[in-house]
């Protein structure tokens, strides 16, 4: 049987088959591709089913197919690493479990800066209005009179952001330390409007908290940041395998 000999009834069956297969799959890209193929067969059917093309059905199916195609393009762009801004590509390896599109959205809300001079970025017992991610520099933490160092690659202020509590420690970065900075109020407004944005942010923070739990040691032991960095790298390698 050739394409030209397909009867209208056969076209409907083929279109319905592709739609049914699409509804049975979970992967959004595959689903949309199958629906697009099914839409193509339905359009073919509407052209040949009657003596004159069914223009109303053709128009509506074309609109729905176009909307589906736009959604598919959005999914492809969301997963495209090529669209990550060059200024942040070096950071994406640290958050590679976050979809590229969600990472781009988070970076659009952040300011990347180098601290000059040494700066206290949070103070114990004070409200937190900024969320930080330490790109480089050893983080000095002072908590309940104890001081210790933490390696870079950490969020600062994430617990206060999630719980709306005051900062539990004073943290400082040396001169030249580089950070990402988010305004907490702006983040919360964005999260209320964009659930996917909140999910991406929580995924990044959850990864950070898992690393901190693994690094949880007595203050005098934490001074050995080289050992802490080795453990941090091990945890970062294991987290994607657990997801």
pLDDT higher than threshold 60 for residue 242: no
- Do residues 187 and 175 touch, judged by C-beta distance below 8 A? no
Choice between 173 and 61, residue whose per-residue pLDDT is larger:
61
* N-terminal to C-terminal alpha carbon distance within the chain: 47
**Segment 97-121, tens digit of pLDDT:** 778 888 888 888 888 888 877 778 8
Q: What is the pLDDT of residue 2?
A: 46
- Quote the CA–CA distance of 188 and 101 in Å, as a whole number: 19
State which fold the 87-242 domain adopts: Jelly Rolls (2.60.120)
The DSSP letter of residue 138 is P
Q: Where in the chain is the domain with CATH 2.60.120.10?
A: 87-242
- Quote the CA–CA distance of 20 and 17 in Å, as a whole number: 5
Choice between 46 and 88, residue whose per-residue pLDDT is larger:
46
Q: What is the pLDDT of residue 233?
A: 54
**Segment 38-53, tens digit of pLDDT:** 999 999 999 998 889 9
Following DSSP, what letter does each residue of 14-53 receive, concatenated? HHHHHHHHHHH---HHHHHHHHHHHHHHHHHHHHHSSSS-
Q: Kindly report which listed range (163-177, 193-207, 224-238) carries the lowest average pLDDT score.
A: 224-238
pTM of the model: 0.65
């Amino acid at each position: 049987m050739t394409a030209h000999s397909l009867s209208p009834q056969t076209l409907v069956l083929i279109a319905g088959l592709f739609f049914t297969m699409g509804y049975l799959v979970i992967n959004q890209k595959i689903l949309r591709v199958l629906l697009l193929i099914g839409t193509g067969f339905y359009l073919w059917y509407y052209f040949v089913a009657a003596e004159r093309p069914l223009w109303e059905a053709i128009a509506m199916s074309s609109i729905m197919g176009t909307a589906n195609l736009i959604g598919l393009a959005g999914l492809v762009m969301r997963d495209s690493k090529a669209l990550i801004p060059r200024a942040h590509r070096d950071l994406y390896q640290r958050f590679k479990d976050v979809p590229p599109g969600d990472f781009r959205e988070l970076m659009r809300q952040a300011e990347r800066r180098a601290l000059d001079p040494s700066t206290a970025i949070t103070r114990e017992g004070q409200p937190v209005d900024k969320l930080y991610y330490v790109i480089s520099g050893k983080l000095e933490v002072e908590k309940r009179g104890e001081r210790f160092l933490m390696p870079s690659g950490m969020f600062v202020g994430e617990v206060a952001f999630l719980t709306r509590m005051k900062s539990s420690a004073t943290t400082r970065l040396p001169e030249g330390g580089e950070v990402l900075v988010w305004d907490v109020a702006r983040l919360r407004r964005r999260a209320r409007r964009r659930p996917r944005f909140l999910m991406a942010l929580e995924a990044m923070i959850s990864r950070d908290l898992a690393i901190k739990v693994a690094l949880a040691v007595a203050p005098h032991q934490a001074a050995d940041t080289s050992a802490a960095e080795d453990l941090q790298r091990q945890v970062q390698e294991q987290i994607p395998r657990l997801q």
